[in-house]
């Protein structure tokens, strides 16, 4: 299961608290500032992926202060994150002589 949330930067301490808690911390967690993703929206985007029950628990906690992103916007955020990660991996590889 994969869920995506948008969090206002003023809520970053609450976000960190939720993401550091067990069992949420066991999920695959990716977070990026909207500027890094070159998106028109402001805030921090968080993608959580993993066990369905843990994702549901994370959804409950995050919904108190964050907005869940769905459908087309969710796809755009996930694609932007994948692009940024791929570019970073390619740049890292070139440092060590990779192709």
pTM, full prediction: 0.82
Pick the CATH number of 2-95 from 3.30.70.240, 3.40.50.2000, 1.10.10.60, 3.60.20.10: 3.30.70.240
User: Whole-angstrom Cα distance, residue 3 to residue 55?
Assistant: 7
- Of the candidates 52, 6, 11, the residue with the CA atom closest to the CA atom of residue 33: 6
For 79-93, the pLDDT digits (tens) are 888 888 787 777 766
56-76: average pLDDT: 95
Indicate if the pLDDT at residue 29 is higher than 90: yes
Question: Domain segments of the chain: what residues?
Answer: 2-95
Q: Binning pLDDT at 50, 70 and 90, where does residue 68 land?
A: very high
Asked if 43 and 35 touch (Cβ cutoff 8 Å), the reply is no
31-59: average pLDDT: 89
Which position has the token pair 């299961």? Answer: 1
H or E, element range at 6: strand 2-7
């Amino acid at each position: 299961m994969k869920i995506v949330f948008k969090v206002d930067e003023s809520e970053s301490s609450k976000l960190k608290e939720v993401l550091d808690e067990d069992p949420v911390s066991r999920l695959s967690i990716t977070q990026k500032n909207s500027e890094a993703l070159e998106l028109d929206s402001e805030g921090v985007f968080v993608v959580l992926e993993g066990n369905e029950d843990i994702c549901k628990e994370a959804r409950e906690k995050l919904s108190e202060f964050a907005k869940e992103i769905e459908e087309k916007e969710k796809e755009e955020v996930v694609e932007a994150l994948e692009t940024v990660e791929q570019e970073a991996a390619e740049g890292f590889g070139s440092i060590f002589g990779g192709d």
